[in-house]
Amino acid sequence: MESSPRDRVQTASRIGALVFVVLWLLSARLQSAIPFWLPFAILAAMEIEFVVRGIRERRAGVEPAPTSRRLPGADDADLGWVESVDEEGEPIFVPAAPRPPRRARVPAVLMLVVAVVLFFYAYRVDREAGWSSVSGTEQARAEKRFTAEAARIAGKDVRVYCDDAYSFTGVGSDAAGVAFIPRALAYLEPTICRSLYRIAFRGKLGARDEAALAITVLAHEATHLRGIQDEAETECYALQEGVSLGRRLGLDVETARALMEAQRTRDLSDASVARLDYRLPAECRNGGTLDLRPNDPQFP
C-alpha cells in the first residue's frame, strides 16, 4: 500500500532532524547559535501530531484502509511456493516466480555521498571557528596580549596560556579557565582564546554570548591571580573588570557594558549545582561592598 504524502513528509522530517542533530554535535558554531532542545522539540512535535491524528481519526470512525486480498504472486517469491489452480480448477502449489528487482528511489551511493559532504562541511566550519585555525605565530601573539591584560587586572606579572591539549580545561574539568595562584599562571580553554582573538585582532564581536563569556573568563582568572580565591567574589569583580577589558580589546563602552550586563544576568539565572560556588552574592550590586567603582552609578 502506498504511503500518504503526510507520511512521506513526516519520514523526511525525521531524517532531516536526525542529520541536523549529527551536524549540531559536530559543530561548536551550531551549538552556540541553536539551543540543543530545538531539534528534539521538533521531533517530539511530529510524534505528538502523529498520535493526535490517530486518536482523532479513530474517534471520527475512520478505519485504516485495508490491504487488498489477492492470490500469492511474484511479490511473494520469498515464500518459495504460491497457490494456483490446474486446468481442472483444482488448487495446486507451484514455485513462485522470481521477484523483480526493486529500484531504489534514492541510490544508496548518493545518500552516502551527501552524508560525507555534510560531515566534512561541519568539520570545516567547526575547524575554522576553532583556535587551531589560528597560526602558531598569531597564537603566540594573542597569548602575549592576554597575558598583558591579565597582568593589568592582577596587578603583578602573570602568565596566560591557551590550553591547546585541554589538559586543565574543557571536557575533562568542565572549566573554561583555570588559575594557579601560587604560580601566577592561568590556562584558558581554546574556544575562549578564539573568541578573544576574534575581538582583539580581527575586530569582530561574533556571537554576543560567546564574546561575553570569553571576556568574563579572562577577567575571572586574572582576578584569581590577584590572590582572590572565592569564586563568587571573583566572578563579581570579573564582571566589573570585563567592561574595561572589553574596551581595551577594541569594543566601545556601550557594547562592553552590555556584554557584562548580559553575562551578569546569565550568572544570576544559573541555578545549576555545578555553578553553585559562582552564584553572585547580594553585595554584587551598585553601591554594594563588592562594587569596584562606588562613585559610578552604572553597574557592572
DSSP secondary-structure letter at 251?
-
Which has the closest alpha carbon to 143: 171, 175, 185?
A: 185
The set of cell numbers assigned to 30 is 551550531
Q: pLDDT digit string (tens) for 267-284? A: 999 877 667 888 999 999
Distance CA 20, CA 14 (A): 10
Residues 288, 282: contact at Cβ < 8 Å?
A: yes
Rounded-to-integer distance, Cα 260 and Cα 213, Å = 9
H or E stretch including 4?
none
Q: Is the preceding peptide bond at 101 cis, omega within 30 degrees of 0?
A: no
What is the pLDDT at residue 112? 62
pLDDT at 222: 98
Give the three-state DSSP class for 19.
helix
| Predicted pLDDT of residue 132 | 85
The rounded distance, in Å, linking the Cα atoms of 60 and 274 is 51
What are the E-state strand segments in the chain?
A: 81-85, 91-95, 159-162, 177-180, 185-188
> Which among 207, 214, 154 has a CA at the least distance from the CA of 188?
214
**Other beta carbons within 10 Å of 233:** 17
User: pLDDT tens digits, the chain, 300 residues: what are they?
Assistant: 445 566 666 677 777 777 777 777 666 666 656 666 676 677 777 778 777 777 777 777 665 555 555 555 555 555 565 566 667 767 666 666 666 666 555 555 665 666 666 655 555 555 555 788 899 999 999 999 999 999 999 999 999 999 988 899 976 566 899 999 999 999 999 999 999 999 999 999 989 999 999 999 999 999 999 999 999 999 999 999 999 999 999 999 999 999 999 999 999 998 776 678 889 999 999 999 999 999 988 999
Count of beta carbons in the 10 Å neighbourhood of residue 43: 16
Length of the chain counted residue by residue: 300
- Secondary structure class of 170 (helix, strand, coil): strand
Cell numbers 541555578 correspond to: 271
CA distance 176 to 135: 22
Name which of 210, 171, 166 is nearest 192 in CA terms.
210
Give the amino acid at 295: N
- For residue 204, the tally of other CB atoms under 10 A from its CB is 12
- 231 φ, ψ (degrees, to nearest 5): -70, -40
Give the DSSP letter of residue 24. H
**What pLDDT score was predicted for residue 1?**
46
Cell of 112: 552516502
Residue 124: all three cell numbers together: 570545516
Dihedral in degrees, nearest 10, Cα atoms 266, 272, 277, 282: 50
Backbone angles phi, psi at 81, to 5 degrees: -135, 150
Q: Is 276 exposed, middle or buried (0-12, 13-18, 19+ CB in 10 A)?
A: exposed
> Angle at which helices 5-26 and 37-59 pack, to 10 degrees?
160
pLDDT at 117: 63
